[in-house]
Amino acid sequence: MRMFKVPMPQRRWFHPNISGVEAERLLLERGVEGSFLARPSRSSPGDFTLSVRRHGMDDILAWDFYDLYGGEKFATLSELIQFYTENQGQLREKNGEPIELKFPLYCADPTTERWFHGDIGGKEAEKVLTEKAKPGSFLVRESQSQPGHFVLSVRTDDTVTHVKIRCQGTFDVGGGDKFDSLSDLVEHCKKNPMVDTTGTIVHLKQPLNATRIPASGIEVRVKELKRADGKKAGFWEEFESLQSSPVQFWYNKKRDRNQLNAQQEVKHVFSRKEGQKPNNRNKNRYKNILPFDHTRVLLKEPWPHDYINANYIEPDDEIFEGCKKCYIATQGCLPSTVADFWYMVWQENSRVIVMTTKEFERSKSKCAHYWPDDGEIKEYEGGFKLLMQKESSTPDFTLREFLMTRSGEERVIYQFHFIAWPDHGVPDDPGCVLNFLSEVNFRQESLDGAGPIVVHCSAGIGRTGTFIVIDLIVDQIKRCGLHTDIDIRRGIQMVRAQRSGMVQTEAQYKFIYLALLHYIDTLSHKIQAQQKCLEVGREYTNIKWGEGKDFPVKETVSIGSNSMNNLVPLGNN
């Protein structure tokens, strides 16, 4: 019977050492509807089993396969998975109901050490070590040519050396000592330099740490980052590396950015010429906090000028695949820019405003009072009228509802004013921010056709960036489940490529981690509680393919009292 070779870049959904019961538990605890994984078949050695979560919490489908439909064969398991993820609706139950493979449930990494970079390839490892690391820097990655094994990639002087790590119950680099874990092997190699095939001595001096983690692994990562390295903790180290890294631009097809190339790395800050023009300088709250030209919001005619200190923030599909969110990050209004602000809100059809600063903090003006008081009507340049219709408060935020009118057209605008951010530092309780963002998103999603959420603090970069990055990653976890990969550092790089300086301090950087830890921990407990309430019954259908068979031999297995439906792959009928 032919075995599938599983190419590593696409095989993190492959779990080599779990049973059917363990697969079910993983999907129920960490997955969402459409989550799937593949594993070796225990009942038919040489075959594989694909398990998919469907219908919310109460239906896990599993089937064994050799070819997934008779007469049509795939060269690899990865090609088979790729076909069904790219051609949703091709795989169906006997009753015609489609089975969708949406979200791969990743296999746990073999170590929580930050030098482990997962499934990056050799060329990518060479690129990151050459561009971002000094000689002696190293990382460990999964082998792409030999699944189940690993590679130690080390930068020497001008080259990168790759050392194969064999994994056969223990770990070794070929002959000599064997180790129970990757960590033990790496520690040994740090103390005992190796010699490569060219005779070059390979020293492991400092790790090149990864920031990508599965969402479910955030608790371990936070513990690692809290652990001090000398006098400096990991949060400081990651934030400082972010500060010194070049700005990278991710092209977004939603808007036309013709002046920049896709994924163009630059060693300088993007141009901010418009904000520096003499007629625009007095419209900036801080003279050195200016919008990038390539993402700035342009006020359109008939407005007398096009400048406002604001940028569009749009998620990149490479990092936040499938995310539909859009924001405008802007500064707190000056008295002279209030009319510009409301014109922008109207022009962009924004219905939700998020304000994350008080008007005054430490006796300094942070934002003008740009809204009318309760029952008051204010008129602004451009023929706008604004009426405060309602105001309600919680200990953490105030919600104001405005009726905005222009030329007979009426729109309701909601301002969520977060008041629990302290004058110094960050909130003690991340939950208050998460609850606030939940209310914001509930309102935004209830408004059909609403434009970007407008987010501002005082400068429009620190708290504004913190709220946006948290919101984007929480949305990713909601859509893709606890086993999706998250990368806080890369997410910040993405928003910084659209507005300079987003997420301003190490404290804010750490707060993002803690807020996501709080969210993931709460979600995990919720899933566990829901799981306990499920009915005992489970429904499975196994489809087995044997060697030389043109058509599947179906075998239905019932666990519990639910009735069965056979799965029928939809071929070229």
User: What 3-state class would DSSP assign to 257?
Assistant: coil
| Distance, CA of 302 to CA of 297 (rounded, Å) | 15
- 192 by DSSP, 3-state: which? coil
Q: How far is it, in rounded angstroms, from Cα 117 to Cα 112? A: 10
Asked whether the CA dihedral 317, 88, 59, 47 is positive or negative, the reply is negative
341, 347, 350, 354: CA torsion to nearest 10: -10
- For residue 135, CA distances in Å to 130, 155, 185, 204, 230 come to 9, 5, 20, 9, 21
Residue 493's closest CA among 319, 325, 327?
Answer: 319
Choose, from 189, 333, 457, 480, the residue flagged as catalytic.
457
Region label for 408, one of left (φ > 0), alpha (ψ between -120 and 50) or beta (otherwise): left
Distance CA 312, CA 471 (A): 15
Partners of 35 in the beta sheet? 103
Confirm whether 107 is a catalytic residue.
Answer: no
Whole-number Å distance between alpha carbons of 338 and 351 = 16
Please check whether residue 473 is in contact with residue 488, taking contact to mean a CB–CB distance below 8 angstroms. Answer: yes
φ and ψ at residue 507, rounded to 5 degrees: -60, -40
- Which H helix or E strand runs over 125? helix 122-132
CA dihedral 238, 239, 245, 251 (to 10 degrees): 100
**Dist CA 271 CA 276 (whole Å):** 10
The span from the CA of 281 to the CA of 34, in Å, is 51
Name the token pair of 367: 């934002």
Catalytic residue numbers? 457
